């Protein structure tokens, strides 16, 4: 059950009755909310009759289509189809126990095909559907709450050094300029691949020398979305290499795609072969983003500046690059080093009895207090 704003500016209440989708339109949102409240009182879902498959379809229709991106919906449908519905689909909500979800988790882990993070995404989707089902009144408890996620180990990433970057760009500029344009732009801006492909002329601010990142091209739907992965608009400065590279587009139509043709079979046919010919470490396109962030960290930029340039929602994601920052932990263990006076004092204590140790400690404390107040020690 949910309220949707239509493209005509009206509001539509959608709900299910006996497994069938119902809808009613209203001009004012307050009228739609009153009607929805009345439905809540009259319609109490029966968890003894509703199956997980039915709840999952309701979740896709009433939540996912409203709040999630098309590519995320495709992924969720695939997870439901391949991993959750075969085991849970026909089971009534009242009969689903934590053990059912644990068995799915265990089975996927034993197969060894999926990575732990992917398995956690599957059980996480199950948890989300049950959680929303409780909010909508379809069940009282969430059986996925007691399912412990698989603990993830740290995942390393590949990136080019400054020398490798320069070596590749020098070779590509001479032998394959299309590859050079894309890689030079990506490694100097840190944009995601979808953001690079979705870049239009109207996002290039030559006056301020900035790139406005606000679109994303989705490969699953082949649609240019008017939002980024984080749903936030950010501005990335153009350095001199990027500015010179994009200057030819200054007079183009505002809706002109900048890198449309370059991305046709880009990685397999162009990017990877060029890496081999240039004699550099093979990396993926997304690793260019890692290279961008790593170079910023090695150049001494703060973690907050790097976060803003990359568009990370969570600072933890950015922190994985900070081990490359010059001297970021230098001197942090100096607190463990004692002065020579402290070492001598500790050495002397080894020759004293317990009473003598206590008296020496009191005397040391007394002398430190006097010195702090500018008084000479009285012998």
Which among 169, 249, 165, 157 has a CA at the least distance from the CA of 203? 249
What's the pLDDT at 354?
60
Q: pLDDT for 160-214, tens place per residue?
A: 999 999 999 999 999 999 999 999 999 999 999 999 999 999 999 999 999 999 9
Asked if residue 313 has pLDDT above 70, the reply is yes
What's the pLDDT at 10?
86
Say if residues 278 and 167 touch (Cβ distance below 8 Å): yes
Q: pLDDT for 123-173, tens place per residue?
A: 999 999 999 998 888 888 999 999 999 998 877 789 999 999 999 999 999
| 164 Cβ neighbours under 8 A, 6+ residues apart | 280, 281
Which among 211, 187, 207, 208 has a CA at the least distance from the CA of 198? 211
List the beta bridge partners of residue 210: 205, 237
Q: Average pLDDT over the chain, rounded to whole?
A: 85
Instruction: Return d(Cα 185, Cα 245) in angstroms, integer.
Output: 8
Asked if residue 249 has pLDDT above 60, the reply is yes
Asked if residue 218 has pLDDT above 50, the reply is yes
Q: Which two three-digit tokens encode residue 145?
A: 């709450």
Say if residues 99 and 88 touch (Cβ distance below 8 Å): no
Q: Report which DSSP code applies to 26.
A: E
Q: What is the reported pTM? A: 0.69
Q: pLDDT for 11-42, tens place per residue?
A: 888 776 655 677 778 878 887 777 777 665 45
List the beta bridge partners of residue 249: none
Instruction: Return d(Cα 354, Cα 347) in angstroms, integer.
Output: 14
Which long-range contacts does 242-247 make (Cβ < 8 Å, 24+ apart)?
Answer: 242/184, 242/185, 242/188, 242/189, 242/211, 243/206, 243/209, 245/181, 245/184, 245/185, 246/185, 246/204, 246/206, 247/206
Q: pLDDT for 266-304, tens place per residue?
A: 999 999 999 999 999 999 999 999 999 999 998 989 999
What value does the mean pLDDT take over residues 234-255?
94
Least confident of 9-23, 97-111, 126-140, 244-258: 9-23
pLDDT band for 328, please (50, 70, 90 cuts): low
What's the pLDDT at 376?
45
Instruction: Return d(Cα 62, Cα 128) in angstroms, integer.
Output: 13
Least confident of 62-71, 146-155, 312-321, 339-348: 339-348
Instruction: Return d(Cα 229, Cα 214) in angstroms, integer.
Output: 9
């Amino acid at each position: 059950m949910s309220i949707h704003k239509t493209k005509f500016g009206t509001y539509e209440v959608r709900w299910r009755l006996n497994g069938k989708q119902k809808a009613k339109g209203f001009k004012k949102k307050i009228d739609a909310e009153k009607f929805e409240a009345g439905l809540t009182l009259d319609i109490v879902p029966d968890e003894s009759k509703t199956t997980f498959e039915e709840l999952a379809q309701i979740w896709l229709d009433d939540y996912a289509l409203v709040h999630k991106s098309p590519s995320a919906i495709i992924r969720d449908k695939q997870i439901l189809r391949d991993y959750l519905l075969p085991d849970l689909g026909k089971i009534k909500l009242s009969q689903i126990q934590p053990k059912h979800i644990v068995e799915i988790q265990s089975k996927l882990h034993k197969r060894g095909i999926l990575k732990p993070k992917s398995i956690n995404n599957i059980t996480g989707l199950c948890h989300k559907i049950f959680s929303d089902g409780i909010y909508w009144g379809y069940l009282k408890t969430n059986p996925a709450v007691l399912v412990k996620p698989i603990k993830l180990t740290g995942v390393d990433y590949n990136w080019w050094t400054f020398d490798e970057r320069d070596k590749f760009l020098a070779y590509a500029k001479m032998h394959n300029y299309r590859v050079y344009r894309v890689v030079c732009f990506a490694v100097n801006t840190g944009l995601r691949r979808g953001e690079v492909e979705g870049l239009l002329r109207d996002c290039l601010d030559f006056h301020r020398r900035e790139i406005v990142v606000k679109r994303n091209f989705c490969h699953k739907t082949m649609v240019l979305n008017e939002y980024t992965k984080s749903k936030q608009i950010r501005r990335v400065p153009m350095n001199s290499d990027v500015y010179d590279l994009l200057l030819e587009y200054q007079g183009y139509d505002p809706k002109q795609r900048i890198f449309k043709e370059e991305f046709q079979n880009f990685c397999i046919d162009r990017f990877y072969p060029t890496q081999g010919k240039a004699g550099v470490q093979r990396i993926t396109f997304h690793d260019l983003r890692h290279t961008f962030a790593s170079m910023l960290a090695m150049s001494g930029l703060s973690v907050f500046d790097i976060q803003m340039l990359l568009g990370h929602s969570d600072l933890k994601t950015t922190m994985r690059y900070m081990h490359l920052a010059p001297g970021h932990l230098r001197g942090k263990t100096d607190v463990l080093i004692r002065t020579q006076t402290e070492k001598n004092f500790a050495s002397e204590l080894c020759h004293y009895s317990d009473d003598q140790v206590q008296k020496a400690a009191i005397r040391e404390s007394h002398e430190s207090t006097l010195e702090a107040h500018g008084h000479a020690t009285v012998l």
